[in-house]
A and B are shown apart, each in its own frame.
Chain A
Amino acid sequence: MIDNGLLVQMLLGALLGLSVYLPLAAGQLSLATPAFYAVGGTLAALLSTRWRALGATAGGGFPVPSLLLELLLGGLLAGVLALLVGRLVLRLRGIYLAIATIALVEIVRVAILNLPFTGGAIGIFSIPQPFSEASGYLLMALLLLALAGGLCHRLEAMPMGRAMAAIRDDELAAACMGIDTTRVKLTAFVLSAMVAGSSGALAAHFLNTWNARQGSFDVSVTTLAFVILGGSRTWLGPVLGGLLLTALPELLRPVGDVRLVLFGLVILLGPVLAPQGLITPALLERLGGAGREPASREDHP
């Protein structure tokens, strides 16, 4: 029932979940993930179809090192965009930040739709394939997820991650304790964009075609649902949420367009039934204390 193709989509879902989680871990509700995903995907689609030096073959093949380069560039471009935009929008708090980031998603979508070189409504198609089988993409997606997940895991035990958690609890108090809140929020925002940008670059090749619809407001809502269902207190939450909610509609194919209703329901019912999401620090502690550093006097480096 679950083939490799679906697994790749699930892993991409998990990556986008992490992208929404990162700013949220610093208390910032950003819905900009689809914008950065679209930017990464469009860059990869353009580079691989237009730039011969990357080595796309006539038969539609593509060298793997070039793909890796695109993942890097997609992440970097998204990161730079986040750095520029973040300085501006991260001054906003709460729902106002969410609205501003929705605007960013729309601006990027309309830009991709109307720019002379992005293929308009049809988009860019026949994107060359680095792998002939879905298993290659699966490996690549796993690699990306391991990188992003590893980063989030390290963050939780690092000053940066602790500062993010402090800002989530009380931004003013954090500032009064010497934490440069602007810098911490901006870092989380840029990391989030880089994860989304790289994921977009991989998705463009995997999907074979890329257009403006890939980064729409719908994706903002679905990716937010990943985090709400999975839980935003540890990075494992959005990963699980992304995997589950990407698989569900595929497994419930007959439901079709009701999918969005389903996501809406999750966003509505999630906080009621499981206020902290499926994966909470308490759950991890019961499962063997993987989530939190023990507060022991002895330190084991």
Chain B
Amino acid sequence: MSAAATASSAATAPLLEVQELSCRFGGLLALDRVSVAVQPGEIFGLIGPNGAGKTTLFNLISGLTPPSGGTVLWRGEAITALPPHRRNRLGLARTFQNLRLFDGLSVLENLLVALQPRSRNSSLDGLLGSARFHRAERLRRETAWQLLDELGLTALAEREAGTLAYGDRRRLEMARALATGPSLLLLDEPAAGLNPAEKEQLCALIQQLRQRHQLTVLIIEHHVPLLMRLCDRMAVLDFGRRIALGSPEQIRHDPRVIEAYLGSGPQGAGEATA
């Protein structure tokens, strides 16, 4: 099943591929040999009931948690042994389900922090305040203001991040991830806690950002209708296993998915065919 799915989408080389990835926390097998390949340019959705291992998969991909087995490939090269900051510099950025901003820094500074690993000027330049340092700093600020503009945060630039309203914090986290200049953006439940109107805006924003920044997006979301509209392909996790993979349409009618969400039984099977 896994091999067939990979072969069918192997027209272009995947940007990110996880092979047989497992993660064990003591007696709990959070991920059980999960394989997924994300093609460049697509929006790939990840759904599953609570505790299915979605965030764990994100943590393994971004390098926060070491896997118990399996490989993470980036443009065909294994990055399983790389620390998170190296993976980010390769072009892999993420947001967090429970928002991890630099609360003590201003909105602008949150972006400046994320922008600086990209510009390679030495600490000596900074200490001496050389022209090169000022040039790099000016460039960082310009980029930061552009991103703030793009995400509608300009008016809040000087506010301390910890004092922002919830929706603004969500957008700031996306702006911060974009500031690192990623090719792949991992979004962990970006619509959580947003009202229906905000969810619509977010949907449009993600599509807009994908176009403008040539992004590939891997997104975890509980709001399935939103994801169905947004995604090119989806995978479904349940108890650490990938139980389905395919287009939103295929996922919608997959009996295993319906079983995972609604429980097994004649009614569940009946609805699937209806």
Residues of chain A having any CB pair with chain B under 8 Å? 151, 154, 158-160, 162-163, 165-166, 168-170, 172-181, 187, 233, 295, 297, 299, 301
Contact = CB atoms under 8 A, between A and B. Distances in A.
A160 B137 CA distance: 12
A103 to B, nearest CB: 27
Contact of B114 (A169, A172, A177, A180): A177
Interface stretch (B14-22, B31-39, B103-111, B258-266): B103-111
Interface core residue of B112, B116, B138 (most chain A CB under 10 Å): B116
Nearest to A162: B113
Interface in B71-89: 83-85, 88-89
B230 interface: no
Q: Across chains A and B, which 9 residue pairs bring their CB atoms closest together, nearest first?
A: A178-B117, A158-B126, A178-B88, A173-B100, A159-B116, A169-B102, A175-B84, A301-B134, A177-B114
**A contact patch SS:** helix
Interface of B: 62-64, 83-85, 88-89, 93-94, 96, 100-106, 108-109, 112-114, 116-118, 121, 123, 126-127, 129, 131, 133-134, 137-138, 141, 145, 157-158, 176-177, 179-180
Contacts of A172: 64, 84, 100
B265 to A, nearest CB: 41
A168 B133 CA distance: 24
Given A158-B127, A162-B112, A295-B108, A175 B85 contact: yes
A174 B100 CA distance: 9
A169 B157 contact: no
Contacts of A169: 101-105
Contacts of A181: 85
A89 B63 CA distance: 22
B64 A162 contact: no
Contact of B83 (A151, A175, A187): A175
A174 B134 contact: no
A174 B113 contact: yes
6 contacts: A158-B127, A172-B100, A175-B63, A175-B88, A178-B88, A299-B141
Interface core residue of A162, A170, A175, A178 (most chain B CB under 10 Å): A178
Given A168-B104, A299-B138, A176 B116 contact: no
Contacts of A158: 123, 126-127, 133
A169 B158 CA distance: 17
Given A158-B127, A177-B113, 8 more contacts: A158-B133, A160-B123, A162-B105, A173-B101, A176-B94, A295-B109, A297-B145, A299-B138
A163 B113 contact: yes
B138 to A, nearest CB: 5
A163 B85 CA distance: 12
Contacts of A173: 96, 100-102
B146 to A, nearest CB: 11
A192 to B, nearest CB: 15
A170 B100 CA distance: 7
Nearest to A233: B104
Given A169-B104, A169-B105, A178-B88, A299 B158 contact: no
